[in-house]
Structure 1
Amino acid sequence: MAVTITEVPLRRRVRDRHHRGVRRWVVLALVTVGALVMLVPFAFMLLNAFKSPGDYSSGGPLSWPTEFYTWGLRTYWSEVNFPLKLWNSALIAGSVAVLGVVVSLLNAYALGIGRVRGRLWIVGLFLLANMLPQEALIYPLYYVAKEIGLYNTRLSVIIIFTVIQSAFGTYLLASVLGTFPRALLEAAALDGAGTWTVLWRVVFPHLRPTLAVLLIFFFIWTWNEFLIPLVMLIDNQTQTIPVALASLQGDRLMDAPTTNAGALISLVPAILFFLIFQRTLARGITAGAEK
């Protein structure tokens, strides 16, 4: 009888492990299929980027190119002055990412740990600000930038997106800091730590993974922004990559290979940035889940 009792749990564990394995393979297969479906547009873009206009006109977007055509890449690189547009996008996105994280941290520290009256109302106001569409903000931003002399400058876009991104960051970090262990704060206060010491020595180390994730998200979100840079940056010397790509489509509406080549070149920096900080993003998300 004892042998039967010990064999049943072992059989159940083996069966459960087998079922979990099947489910994992099914989920993995579905994720693989979804990833392949999402890569289809990128495959078409890569295919048409090295296709001549004659091949595109005769065979369409699904045909295989008869020659390795690179004139579209060189045309886009020279006509839009891609190195300058790359510098503008990197400067704006990088500045917004750093400033947005700093502003979000300071705001959230005051709301989540400080004694600010009406904290819930203020956090709700930040949440409401995240729900406003950019179309509703574009005219006031354009008018204010004109009045203070910041129109058609990179600084205006940096300020605008720092405020926009920090609204989301403040809401997120304030919610996290609202549950911050009070024992750590009280221990730091007993040791004579001031407000800034508590922020940088106690709070900041615990939020470092979350701040890293926000930094990456802020950079990618700002890099892909189109409407506000389109309205605020009208000079070729200040435009970003998405705006330059859109202007190329307007100039060469029927030149699909050049447009695909420009989209391919414009996508490479964002992919490299994601690959470089992929581990940081994964560690930040895992740390947030563990907390």
Structure 2
Amino acid sequence: MPNFPNIILYAIPFFIVAMLLELYATTRENYKAVKGYEPKDAFSSIAMGLGNVILGFGSKALVLLALFWVYDNFRIFTIPIEWWSFILIFFADDFSYYWFHRISHECRLFWASHVVHHSSQHYNLSTALRQTWSGGFYTFIFWLWLPLLGFHPAMILLQMSISLLYQFWIHTEAIDKMPSWFEAVFNTPSHHRVHHGSNPIYLDRNHAGILIIWDKIFNTFQPEIKEEKVVYGLVKNINTYNPIKIAFIEWWYMFRDAFLGKKSIKERFNYLIKPPGWRHDGQGKISSDLRTEWLSSKEQKTS
């Protein structure tokens, strides 16, 4: 077992310093348009992050067991831990992250844990810490093909941590745009602000981890529009600072929709696998419906 450090724990002091610097910067005259921090919201995000770290000790054990089970029993190749294999796993992990993230917006079972990260109506570095308490126990399935190929589980966990670290700095309004070449290839604050928007045109766009190229390849990319200021949060906000509610309220809503009331077995199952907003009676609207309506209204205004 390679002895890679737990870089997330080492990064905690950096997180704190970065948030303090952002808080200072956004109070300056040049940043009056930036919302900055709302104490209750920020403390909720930090509480979610701490809970994620604590529960992570249990989920990481489960993830390691699953990765090693596949690696020890089913791997097709054995990829050595060399400099070039870290390049391969960088792209493989980022590809896995894209599909995990995209499915987490398109399937309610995965949305139930991921919605936590979108529940804040503010956007700053503390929002990056607003992490799931439940997702770590089952979303790892999107990475099981990596040990099957022959990547060592320790390498996989290290690269997953690197990806998570990278995504911390993009949760800010204090940075407008990066250089054009950087914006073209990498995920940036501008791209990720779009992802956190509840505006119909921004819904379920920009699922990138580190590389924005996946969104461009799979047609989920949306640039930030200067005239369409991002409205952060959910289509229907949960309006609570209670960490317990933030962590589990969507699970309750999903199971209530799936198991209560008069519905067929297929309809009940669909509440678990269909996108958020889907209703068995046809009265619901998913993100693509809302986007289509928004684009249609824009066309009518300009015609």
TM-score, normalisation: structure 1: 0.30
Higher RCO, 1 vs 2 (CA within 8 Å, ≥6 residues apart): 1
Could you say which structure has the higher helix fraction?
1
